[in-house]
Amino acid sequence: MTRPGLEVPEGAELELLGSDGVEIFDLLSEMGHEQVVFSHDPSCGYRGIIAIHDTTLGPALGGTRFWNYESDRDALTDVLRLSRGMTYKAAVAGLNLGGGKAVIIGDNKTRDREMLMRAHGRAIDSLGGRYITAEDVGVSVEDMDFVHVETESVVGIQGRSGDPSPVTAYGVYRGIKACAVKRYGDDGLGGRSIAVQGAGNVGYHLCRYLTAEGAKVFVSDIDDARTARCAEELGVEVVELEEIYDVDADVFAPCALGAIVNDETIPRFRFEIVAGAANNQLAGPEHDAALKEGGILYAPDYVINAGGLINVYSELAGWSSDRSHRKAGEIYNVLLDIFDLAESDGVTSGVAADRVAEQRLRRVGRLHRAPLLSGVKW
């Protein structure tokens, strides 16, 4: 099927298939998505996917990730998982937001960014406020300014809430303290050892909080300049990329990309706690159970890393930076409640977190959507 004037090259086929041969609409139904939009602007090489998972609580908000995926299917899988996680993150954090996410496919180190980001802004604007974006991996605050030229459906731009990384890191720090009090009966981190995977913006600020309290911190990252900065400024110990899984430490804090808690890494863990900022840390739901069976306390990623979402939400809600900081600090109590629920129901912490999120979504219901904020039209 083609539009007038649109020719499909000979032999080309449109395969509406997700991973493992699953048809896309079946995949969307299974994961509960409302809408997925594919956009392309050949004039600047823009290729983007926007996924809106659920708007029960409000407009879908989630960052834009710029990444050189191995395939379009990998990009689709990533955006579907990430957008679903945003729904649950907002619900557990008590925010009037739904879940969405966007990915731009390509080399995020390109210096020719303005027209690319403006094309992305036009794609977002076409959704009429159903999706609001922010920065994520491979995207900067400056990029968001370009997006803002084309749409008002963007947060985290300069002069407003800005870089969410410090607030994300503070929430993770508070979450690690909650894990410590659950595991050890004391939330003090002085003398504790923590392995931080990823020394980017969030990882750096997390290391700053941890070392300030007297924790022994190990760090790995693909970028030697990042680890060197942490070592020089904060006194952390740098380890090789693969060695981070074998460090003899109390806590493992993944702060890079996802799926790093898996069949290969879990048997290597000598950690008692997994609590970090990365999204989708578990390669699959079975690894939540594997951590529990191994006696490892897991802080569900979308709960402990909600500080960044809280930070950008402050723009929509009109919160001060102090209020955002306090709200991120509440992750401590949210996690303790989830751990208590997991214990009382005899389930994993991941299942308990899902139950908390789903309970709020059911309570609000689709007939009682929260109003859009900041004048964005529904």
Q: Which has the closest alpha carbon to 277: 94, 67, 87, 85?
A: 85
Each residue's pLDDT tens digit, 308-364: 999 989 989 989 889 999 999 999 999 999 999 999 999 999 999 999 999 999 998
What is residue 243's DSSP assignment? G
Q: How many distinct helices (H) and strands (E) make up the chain?
A: 13, 12
Q: Tokens standing for 151? A: 């749409």
Residues 6+ apart with CB under 8 A from 105: 47, 48, 49, 67, 68, 69, 72, 75
Name residues whose C-beta falls within 8 Å of residue 94's C-beta, 6 or more positions apart in sequence.
Answer: 360
Give me the catalytic one of 101, 177, 182, 327: 101
Q: What domains, with CATH codes, occur in the chain? A: 22-90+97-150 (3.40.50.10860), 165-354 (3.40.50.720)
Structure tokens at 205: 């600020």
- Cβ atoms 251, 218 nearer than 8 A: no
Q: Tell me the sheet residues that pair with 26.
A: none
Is 101 catalytic? The answer is: yes
Give start and end residues of each alpha helix (H) in the chain. 24-31, 72-93, 114-125, 141-150, 165-184, 201-212, 224-234, 286-293, 301-304, 307-317, 321-329, 331-345, 349-364
Pairing of β 131-132 and β 35-41: unpaired
* Other C-beta atoms lying within 10 Å of the C-beta of residue 192: 23
Per-residue pLDDT tens digits for 193-237: 999 999 999 999 999 999 999 999 999 999 999 999 999 999 999
Structure confidence at residue 161 (pLDDT)? 74
Residue 38 CA to residue 376 CA, distance in Å, equals: 22
Q: How far apart are CA 122 and CA 186, in angstroms?
A: 50
Residues 6+ away with beta carbon under 8 Å from 44: 112, 115, 116, 119
Assign 46 to helix, strand or coil: strand
Buried b / exposed e across 223-259, counting CB within 10 Å, b at 16+? eeebbebbbeebebebbeeeebbebebbbbbbbbbbb
| 65 neighbors 86 (Cβ within 8 angstroms) | no
Q: Are strands 98-105 and 46-54 parallel, antiparallel or unpaired?
A: antiparallel
Give, for all 378 residues of the chain, the pLDDT tens digit. Answer: 333 333 434 444 444 445 555 677 887 878 889 999 999 999 999 999 999 999 999 999 999 999 999 999 999 989 998 999 999 999 999 999 999 999 999 999 999 999 999 999 999 999 999 999 998 889 998 999 999 999 999 998 877 776 788 999 999 999 999 999 999 999 999 999 999 999 999 999 999 999 999 999 999 999 999 999 999 999 999 999 999 999 999 999 999 988 999 999 999 999 999 999 998 899 999 999 999 999 999 999 999 999 999 998 998 998 988 999 999 999 999 999 999 999 999 999 999 999 999 999 999 875 444 443 333 332
pLDDT, position 257? 81
Letter for the amino acid at 254? Answer: P
Q: What does pLDDT average to over the chain?
A: 90
Q: CA angle, corner 58, sides to 56 and 59, nearest 5? A: 115
What is the Rg, in whole angstroms, of the alpha carbon atoms belonging to the chain?
A: 20
**pLDDT of the residue at 282:** 95
Task: Give the burial string for 328-339 (b: 16+ CB within 10 Å, else e).
Answer: bbbbbebbbebb
Residue 371 is predicted with a pLDDT of 42
Largest CA distance in the chain: 69
Q: Which structure tokens are listed for 235?
A: 């006194």
8 A C-beta contact, residue 67 and residue 78: yes
Half-sphere CA count of 31, side-chain side, radius 13 A: 29
